[in-house]
A and B are shown apart, each in its own frame.
Chain A
Amino acid sequence: MPENSTETGRENLLEVEDLAVHFPITRGVVLNKTVGYVYAVDGVSLTIRRGETYGLVGESGCGKSTLGRAILRLTDLTRGSVRFDGDDVAGLKGEALRTARRRFQMVFQDPMSSLDPRQSVESLLTEGLKAHGLSKGPEADHARLRELVDAVGLPAGSLRRYPHEFSGGQRQRIGIARALCVEPDLIVADEPVSALDVSVQAQVLNLLSRLQRELGLTYLVIAHDLAVVRHVSDRVGVMYLGGIVEEAPATELYTDPQHPYTRALLSAVPVPDPDLEDHRERILLTGDLPSPAAPPPGCRFHTRCPWRQPERCDTDRPQLRQLEGAADGHRVACHHAEAIRDGRIARHTVEPQTFQIDSFPGDAPPEHAGSVNEILGM
């Protein structure tokens, strides 16, 4: 819409194009010869519109966390561009990057390890204000923080207390307040609720959606739990081994999953409804995720795909495309998506392939790895 792409606000807040993050695998003590790469993220393009929630879902080792970190420039990009509100972020350095970071903030999975245990909540929150020159004197700051703490649903006396005095859910609220205090436009939340109990999880999810409504925030939510992602997101991208295999509006993804991996993922998520559980079709994948250090050629999913065809699957890497008759914005990266949808090709059994998991030669984990799996090379 032309009205939206005016000077003050573009429709797309974030545009990521062909982003790749490859961690070098090095061997040797002195020379550190590079012997290979972990292809953590390999060619991802996505756009996030202002005010929407984009959900990234995938299993461990699929590169979703690395992608989130790369967007925030917490990890160096190997290739690709990240445009935030029209400005190229991928090329920023030093002071320019630091000031730009005010507008995109992160909420981490484990609030205990992302909050300094020796700083009071007030000091934690003031730090961000001062770093970005938003401080308006102690009195005004204090009033602002009181408001903020109240907005995320913490008791009034929280500012003087320390992180260990709070429960897991409350700590996550502090993490959200910390991200919010610099008034960002985009919040990247990496597994924001997976460390929490179900009943507390719901409180935090509700808080996130209330804050979005009130403050007009844009979210990128990264999680392994498809039900959580689908619940909070407007659009969902499904990742597998470093690439997005399907992208769809949240409702579409459930009613019309097109990629074999999405189907398997959906059928694997347990639903708390015995009647449904008794009768639903299950697509059990065999074997494990191949190593991102040696991704399979062609479609990365072909080694586990129950619909794999003899031609193209193991040679051509499929690109995201929209199928005929699919909803707007619903794209899938599969050569045979139409045939699968129309039932023209049938499911077959897949012999599980074993992947010998060896740690990296020379035992050097990638620098700034996004998760344990990257270090293990899983």
Chain B
Amino acid sequence: MTTPLLEVADLGVAFTRKGEPDSVAVDGVSFDVQPGEIVGLVGESGCGKSVTSLAIMRLLPERGVRVTGSVRMEGTDLMTLSDSAMREKRGRDLSMVFQDPLSSLNPVIEIGLQVTEVLRRHRGLKKDAARREAAELLERVGIPDPRRRLDSYPHQLSGGMRQRVMIAIALACRPRLLIADEPTTALDVTIQAQILELLKELVADSGTALVMITHDLGVVAGLCDRVNVLYGGRIVERSERHRLFGTPRHPYTYGLLGSIPRLDAPPGEDLAAIRGSVNDNLPWAHACAFAPRCPRALERCSEVSPPPELAGGRFLRCHNPVPAEA
């Protein structure tokens, strides 16, 4: 195996408040990303997927947050870098695309300036060269009439076009790692299909590795090489995508797949819903968080935290997994 591009080891994020117990958002999350690989982080709201990505980018506020563990990118621990060194890395070596492009683009500055800003800062291009490059970038992400678009403001573009601009900015310095946090959730499905196709192409062309954060298992199925399923701040299952969707072993993964209405299934049948909600979660410290909602829960599940196990290329955290030949 080659050396990983990104290595997240035992990452923990806790939000602290005076006089109250810490609330743990991410707990002992470890995964790695190979160069050029597409890795998925999947889970429902509150599972810690976005906090994980913000911790990797060091975008969490310093006060009131305790981050533990290490994030190594090509050998450098991002957690110990100085603020200015991290600023240099951000945008150049690793960058990020957010869910809502309207709130991440500056509404009073033209698109062109927002794209050239990155080029001038990180690649030291002069004004005219940066503008030419910006137009090329917009063309690459499929924006029609890019030269004219440089002078547009974000509100003059549709949601899909704005997300393309975000991707253009993120890829302006040809980073080796792109983190996309729910990049298509705010978009319509036909636009989502366009953006996913675009991401796939760009990643294949430039060799950029992609960490895809989403709640949509369908998006992951067609895009990612490996998938991490998060629940309550921990990774409960990780596997290569064909294996994960073919034979899900963790009852949560299994339940999630059963909960999704599928286009190719006979309609009218009841869905195999997961009972309860994340409010029922037990603390991971001395139990399996999923136990109260789990149809396969044993007595042990609410008493002992399941240890991580690695078997046959699959990472699993469960006392009583779904049999492999289910």
Contacts from A to B (Cβ < 8 Å): 59-60, 167-170, 197-203, 205-206, 209-210, 224-228, 230-233, 250-251, 254, 264-278, 282, 284-289, 351-359, 378
* Residues of B in contact with A (beta carbons under 8 Å apart): 44-45, 142, 144-145, 155-158, 160-161, 188-194, 196-197, 215-222, 241-242, 245-246, 255-268, 270-275, 277-279, 293
CB of A170, distance to nearest CB on chain B (Å): 8
Contact A231 B44 (CB under 8 A): no
The 3 closest A-B pairs by CB, nearest first: A270-B218, A277-B222, A231-B261
Contact B267 A284 (CB under 8 A): no
Residue of B nearest to A267 (CB): B193
Q: Are A268 and B190 in contact (CB under 8 A)?
A: yes
Q: Quote the shortest CB–CB distance from B37 to chain A (angstroms).
A: 15
Cβ–Cβ < 8 Å partners of A353 in chain B: 144
Q: Is the CB of A199 within 8 A of B44?
A: yes
CB < 8 Å neighbour of B261 from A230, A282, A359 = A230
Docked-complex contact A270 and B188, CB < 8 angstroms:
no
Nearest residue (CB) in B for A229 is B261
Write the nearest CB–CB distance from B193 to chain A, whole angstroms. Answer: 4
Is A278 touching B222 in the complex (CB atoms < 8 A)? yes
Q: In the bound complex, do residue B193 and residue A230 qualify as a contact, i.e. CB atoms below 8 Å apart? A: no
Contact B218 A228 (CB under 8 A): no
* Residues of A contacting B197 in the complex (Cβ-Cβ under 8 angstroms): 282, 284
User: Which of A227, A282, A285 has the most C-beta atoms of chain B within 10 angstroms of its own C-beta?
Assistant: A227
Enumerate 13 A-B pairs (CB-CB under 8 Å) in ascending A order: A202-B274, A205-B273, A209-B270, A230-B267, A231-B265, A250-B268, A251-B267, A267-B193, A268-B190, A270-B196, A271-B218, A352-B144, A353-B144
Which residues of chain A are within 8 angstroms of B255 by Cβ–Cβ distance? 199
Q: Is the CB of B188 within 8 A of A274?
A: no
With A197-B215, A275-B242 given, name 7 new contacts (CB 8 A): A198-B259, A200-B277, A226-B189, A230-B261, A250-B268, A270-B193, A289-B158
Chain B residue, CB-CB nearest to A193:
B261
Residues of A close to B218: CB separation below 8 A: 269-272, 277
Q: How far is the CA of A61 from the CA of B85 in the complex (A)?
A: 45
B281 vs chain A, min Cβ distance (A): 12
Residue of B with least CB distance to A169? B277
A272 partner, pick from B245, B266, B277, beta carbons under 8 A: B245
Residues of A within 8 A of B216 (CB): 270
> What separation, in Å, do the CA atoms of A226 and B267 have in the docked complex?
12
Residues of A within 8 A of B293 (CB): 199
Contacts A202-B259, A272-B262, A274-B241; A354 near B145 (Cβ below 8 A): yes
Contact B264 A271 (CB under 8 A): yes
Contact of B264 with A202 in the complex, beta carbons under 8 Å: no
Contacts of B273 in A (CB 8 A): 199-200, 202-203, 205-206
Which residue of chain B is the closest to A204 with respect to CB atoms? B273
Inter-chain CA distance A232–B45, complex, in Å, is 24
Shortest beta-carbon distance, A289 to chain B, in Å? 8
State in angstroms the CA–CA spacing of A219 and B197 once bound together: 35
State A358–B215 Cα separation when bound (angstroms). 32
A206 to B263, CA, bound (A): 17
Please tell me if the beta carbons of B190 and A59 are within 8 angstroms of each other in the complex: yes
Contact status A224-B263, CB under 8 Å? no
Chain A residues with Cβ below 8 Å from B266 are: 251
Asked whether A272 lies within 8 Å of B260 as measured between CB atoms, the reply is: yes
In the assembled complex, the Cα of A198 lies from the Cα of B221 at a distance in Å of 15
List chain A residues, Cβ under 8 A from B217. Answer: 198, 272
A270-B259 CB under 8 A given contacts A251-B267, A288-B161: no
Report yes or no: A230 in contact with B263, Cβ–Cβ below 8 A: yes
- Per the bound structure, the CA–CA distance linking A266 and B262 in Å amounts to 11
